[in-house]
Every structure is written in structure tokens, then in C-alpha cells.
Amino acid sequence: MITYLKKSDARPPAETANVRDTVAIMLANIERGGEDAARDYAAKLDRWDGAIVVTDADRAKAIASVPQALKADIQFAHNNIRRFAEAQKATMGECEVELTPGHFAGQKQIPVSAAGCYVPGGRYSHIASALMTITTAKVAGVQHITAVSPPRPGEGIPAAIVYAMDLCGADTILNLGGVQGVAAMANGLFGTPKADILVGPGNSYVAEAKRMLFGEVGIDMFAGPTDSLVIADDTADPELVAWDLVGQAEHGPDSPVWLIATSRPLAETVMARAPQLIETLPEPNAAAARVSWAERAEVILCDTREEMATVSDEYAPEHLHVQAADLEWWLGRLSAYGSLFLGEETTVPFGDKASGPNHVLPTSAAARYTGGLSVHKFTKTVTWQRCDQNASKALAIATARISRLEGMEGHARSADIRLEKFFPNEEFDVRP
């Protein structure tokens, strides 16, 4: 039996027509006005009137200002992310198969030529997003990587983010945030090539800009507010569970957190403890977590682990943390999540910052049909084929008949002419 001990009382998101209209106008203005329009938006929205392109000298100055201990932490995270991306790439094979004698087909893996990586920089300086996006693109073999992030007035992109971007292999860094940053990468402004794909998280305006540009360019995914779900049985530590939920609630008031449990005492302890822990956070983190917990958090009581797994798959969370016995069973059973964290020894923040697997993940139940950012997103799986004259005979006959049955006479004749050229002394019945 499934029982909701706490149910979300948040209303569905308000109509986003104003966001769409604003973004559409901005994209049109930047497409028409180019770099001047992007600069105007940077001055208006980011209060930035300095250089847009971060020069080599600017990079060196920023890198020199980053404390060595922080550099070491960023290097540690970068190494894990790079090695995991390299392991992913190793699974991407090319192939060739002889389907019939003389008829060969295959597939190749070709990285996109140019990628645009958006690194958020609003309330939080997302160093980890630079690591996740740029490193993965670099490992995939992308030839040119442009990275953008909102500049701070009088400062530009924070030095630690510049250091991370440089470490990961960004070819060009732009002091641009929001829609203007996304549009600059899509349009190839400030000396950059037009991006083939745009990746990275951002606010609702950034997400809408990517959505509108999809088709002209590729994107990693349509991103909504981050979400997190914890599965806990009676072996779980309620203090750890409570902190793991609170830690994700701090993302913002629109970010839901969910607990699925088989133990009522554990669930009730977590429900009592979470608000207390939120009050120990600094502001504005506490304010964001307070609203998230009050309006969007849910606590669900189940009778069995199978019931828990079923409910979890229905939610298809971005982050899924299992704090329960028999972790191998959960690894084999669960099927809908962005990234899975097994056991109390790990936690979602490890994955958000440093552990290796990518933190750009599907939200809003999109994990039902897609995974997160990986080297695969920067790579085109393309196919090829060739055949000798003998192999072309059977293909031409079948193609001609199928084409005529479909009413596509031009297709049929492209097949017919090969029969006439390669087999002039033979007759073929290519009627449907």
C-alpha cells in the first residue's frame, strides 16, 4: 500500500509566455544586431561593459589568483570527470558488417566541430558545471569549445570558474550570461565558430533560449528545476537522509525533493528533522530550502521494496539515492533516473561536484526516455554503405519493386538504371 505522509501542495508552474516572449525578442535582436546587441544586453542585464572575450592575459591573471588548495580540488574533480568520460568514449565502437556477399555497411563516431558550454553564475558560482561540460566535450574530440558565464560587475567571470574553464580546455571564454551568452555561441559571435551543440544548465531564460534554438543547433536536453529522490528502508540513517534532502532543496523553491520509505518511524523522523536542519543554513540558502520543503517535498510510505521501486520509476528523478539493504538488487531493478547513488557512503553532492559521472541530467521525469550529458551527446553516430555490382542486383530489384508499390517512380528508376548498366544482357521483372 502506498501512503503519502507529506504531499506537495505547490501549484503547477505559472504560464511562461512572458519568458518566451522576452527570449524570442532577445534572440531576434541578437541575430539581427550581432555583437553590438549582445554587448548591449550584457551592459543592461549583467552590468558588464568590459571586454567580452577573456584574453590569454586575463586568463593568466585569474588563474594566478586562485588559491593552490582550490586548484588542487578542481584538479581532483577534473581528473575524475575526465577519466569517466574517457571510459564512456571507450564503449563507443565503430563497426562494419557484410550484410550479403559484396554488400557492406558500417557506422562511424564523429565528434561535432564546435560546442557551446553555458556555465551558470547567478546565486552560485558553478565551477562544477564548467568541469562537466567542457571536459566532456574535450574528451569527445570537439575541435572548438566556447564557454560563457555571467560576469560580475567590475570583476568578470569569477577567477575559479576561469581556471576551471582553462584547465578543461575551453578555446574561447566569453564574459556573457543569460540569453545573450547562449545566442553568442549559437550565432558564432566574437570570433567563435557557430556552435553545433549548446550544453549546460541555466535559469528559465537560458533553458528557453536553448529550446527555441533547438533545430538550428543541437542541445543537451530541455532542463527544468533540479529534483532529487531518496529511497530508504529501516536500515537507513534518518539524519543522513534528512541532510541529503535538505541539501538538494537548497537549489531553489521550485526544486522538489522526495522520500520513499518502508519505515514509518524513519519517515516521521526525517519530516521532523528536515525543517530544523534548514534553519541552520545561511541565507538565502535557507529561504530557498524552506519553500522547497514546505511546498514541493513529498514523503511516501510503501510496504515493500518492489513498491518503492515502482513509485521511484514513476517519478523518474534526476538524482536517485538508495539508502537501503541489498544495493545490487536496486541497481538491477531501478530503470528511470538521471544518475543513481548507491549506499549511504555516497551522496548526490559528490556527483554534483567531483565524483566523475556527469551532473547535467534529465529533469521533470525526462529520465523516462533519456540519460544525462556524456561524450555521446557531442558525437554523431553516422552510417555508411557500399556494394559491388553483384550485390547491387538484389538491392536494385527490391528497391525498384518497393518504390513502385509506394508510388515513387523516380526512386525506382534510380534502381532500374543500375540493372541496365551493370547487367545489360539480363531481364528483370521490377513491377510491384
Over the stretch 70-114, which tens digit does the pLDDT of each residue have? 999 999 999 999 999 999 999 999 999 999 999 999 999 999 999
Q: Per the domain annotation, does 319 fall within a domain?
A: yes
Q: Categorise residue 356: left if φ over 0, alpha if ψ from -120 to 50, beta otherwise.
A: left
Q: Which residue has the cell 513502385?
A: 404
- 283 given a catalytic annotation: no
Alpha helices in 334-425 (DSSP H): 348-353, 389-406, 409-422
**Band of pLDDT at residue 252, cut at 50, 70 and 90:** confident
Active-site residue (options: 78, 126, 251, 319): 319
The residue from 201, 220, 239 where one domain ends is: 220
pLDDT at residue 379 greater than cutoff 60: yes
Mean pLDDT of 278-282: 97
Active-site residue (options: 318, 411, 426, 427): 318
d(CA 308, CA 259): 10
**Band of pLDDT at residue 12, cut at 50, 70 and 90:** low
pLDDT at residue 11 greater than cutoff 70: no
Looking up residue 213, the CATH number of its domain turns out to be 3.40.50.1980
pLDDT at residue 223 greater than cutoff 90: no
Same domain, yes or no, for 235 and 186? no
Same domain, yes or no, for 269 and 346? yes
- The per-residue pLDDT of the chain, averaged, comes to 95
Same domain, yes or no, for 358 and 411? no
Same domain, yes or no, for 229 and 209? no
Whole-prediction pTM value? 0.93
**Is the Cβ–Cβ distance between 413 and 384 less than 8 Å?**
no
**Band of pLDDT at residue 15, cut at 50, 70 and 90:** low
Q: Per the domain annotation, does 78 fall within a domain?
A: yes
pLDDT at residue 272 greater than cutoff 70: yes
Share of the chain above pLDDT 90, in %: 93
Query: What is the pLDDT, as a whole number, of residue 224?
Result: 86
Residue 251 is part of which domain span? Answer: 225-371
- 268 given a catalytic annotation: no
Query: What is the pLDDT, as a whole number, of residue 93?
Result: 93
Number of domains in the chain: 3
pLDDT at residue 320 greater than cutoff 60: yes
Q: By mean pLDDT, which of 47-51, 201-205, 350-354 is the weakest?
A: 201-205
Position 381: which residue type? Answer: T
Same domain, yes or no, for 82 and 136? yes
330-344 confidence digits (pLDDT tens): 999 999 999 999 999
pLDDT at residue 190 greater than cutoff 70: yes
Same domain, yes or no, for 232 and 212? no
Same domain, yes or no, for 143 and 201? yes
**Is the Cβ–Cβ distance between 177 and 203 less than 8 Å?**
no
Same domain, yes or no, for 59 and 158? yes
How long a stretch of residues is the chain? Answer: 432
**Is the Cβ–Cβ distance between 109 and 103 less than 8 Å?**
no
Same domain, yes or no, for 230 and 127? no
Q: By mean pLDDT, which of 45-54, 70-79, 116-125, 379-388 is the weakest?
A: 116-125
pLDDT at residue 122 greater than cutoff 70: no
Same domain, yes or no, for 250 and 345? yes
Same domain, yes or no, for 360 and 229? yes
Of 135 and 125, the structure prediction assigns the larger pLDDT to: 135
